[in-house]
Amino acid sequence: MSYANNQIMPSFQRPPSRVAIRRAAGYSDDLAALIQETASELGFHVQGKSVLLKPNFVEPDPRGIVNTNPAVVGAAREAFLRLGARSVVVGEGPGHERDTEGIVETIRLRDHIGKLAGKFVDLNLDDVALTSLRTRASRLKELYFPRTVLGADLVVSMPKLKTHHWVGATLSLKNMFGIVPGSCYGWPKNALHWAGISQSVLDINSTVRPDFAIVDGIVGMEGNGPIQGTAKFCGALVMGDDPVAVDATCVRIMGLAPERIDYLAKAGSVLGHVSERQVLQAGEPIGSVRTSFEVLPQFDRLKVA
């Protein structure tokens, strides 16, 4: 795949994607069983595989709405181990805070996965390998990526359902910014911002495309996200093996139009499906969990009338 003068190549051919919406009333629900059942239903095979879970841990947050809830991360780890994964490691490289260990301790991740040794990797400080990007949406041609990410058999993006003050919404594709190591690019990874956020999202995901996505939409964030918004209860987990289709579904749940979000619309041409006609919906229908999220005024155009 390639871009010429930032123009997207013609749409590729790919079978319809399956996305599951599952209701969850709270973080004390049996989320491991929910994820295990859904992954099996969607045919996500982890038997004998090494799995990297990539949550969205941004900064310490006493409100509990900025980061992927650790209960969801722990549940995913347990679910994949039950399904026969050889190993399941959590990895994150926050862009705002240098002290990743401090964030992990503050949100009490160890309460949900046990001792962190051998189970958690700070992707900002991991060994890296220079990797050529598979697309040219941005001016970047290559990036250093953590060896833990490149060596995993399967990568699972696990974002929080949030609006975003620069790109409208941040979900499983935008969450992959966290695999770009701060030790190489600094904080808050300005190289990606200078190259263009939407363009960098495409280049990163074309090169390290998540094999599965689990979006924490039990409690999301609306307004001035991704860190200064307000809590928004949605009561759902959204899962699937096409991160583009998962994100498009999440945006529709938020009452927004994915075709109007620049990076998501372009990702629908090269990475996955945005069109509802190409998404086979499992679990709950979108309408049953749709909850209108407030956005900043500059993104009012994203709202579905």
Does 201 map to a domain? Answer: yes
CA torsion angle 197 201 207 210 (round to 10): 150
pLDDT at site 148: 98
Extract the tokens encoding 178: 């966290």
pLDDT at site 150: 98
Does 56 map to a domain? Answer: yes
Q: How far is CA 298 from the centre of its chain?
A: 23
Does 10 map to a domain? Answer: no
User: If we measure between CA atoms, which residue out of 279, 301, 281, 297 comes closest to residue 289?
Assistant: 281
Residues facing residue 18 across a β-bridge:
280
pLDDT at site 14: 82
Does 151 map to a domain? Answer: yes
User: If we measure between CA atoms, which residue out of 221, 267, 220 comes closest to residue 245?
Assistant: 267
Neighbour count for residue 116 (Cβ, 10 Å): 15
pLDDT at site 88: 98
pLDDT by residue, tens only, the chain of 305 residues: 333 444 444 445 789 999 999 999 999 999 999 999 999 999 999 999 999 999 999 999 989 999 999 999 999 999 999 999 999 999 999 998 899 999 999 999 999 999 999 999 999 999 999 999 999 999 999 999 999 999 999 999 999 999 999 999 999 999 999 999 999 999 989 899 999 999 999 999 999 999 999 999 999 999 999 999 999 999 999 999 999 999 999 999 999 999 999 999 999 999 999 999 999 999 999 999 999 999 999 999 999 97
Query: To which H or E segment does residue 260 belong?
Result: none
Give the pairing type, strands 160-164 and 168-170.
antiparallel
Radius of gyration of the chain (CA): 17
CA distance 220 to 234: 7
pLDDT at site 9: 43
Task: Look up residue 40 and give its amino acid.
Answer: S
Does 7 map to a domain? Answer: no
CA distance 237 to 243: 14
pLDDT at site 6: 44
Does 2 map to a domain? Answer: no
The stretches of the chain forming alpha helices (DSSP H) are 31-41, 70-82, 100-106, 110-113, 147-151, 182-185, 190-195, 197-207, 243-253, 262-270, 286-289
What is the domain count for the chain? 1
Structural contact between residues 152 and 52, judged by C-beta atoms closer than 8 angstroms: yes
Give the pairing type, strands 230-240 and 212-222.
antiparallel
Does 200 map to a domain? Answer: yes
CA distance 12 to 29: 39
Residues facing residue 281 across a β-bridge:
19
Q: What does DSSP assign to residue 16?
A: P
Does 145 map to a domain? Answer: yes
CA distance 73 to 53: 8
State which residues form the domain around 288.
17-302
Q: Which CATH number is 273's domain given?
A: 3.40.50.11440
User: If we measure between CA atoms, which residue out of 137, 144, 138 comes closest to residue 180?
Assistant: 144
| Cα separations in angstroms, 45 against 40, 48, 80, 124, 279 | 7, 9, 9, 28, 20
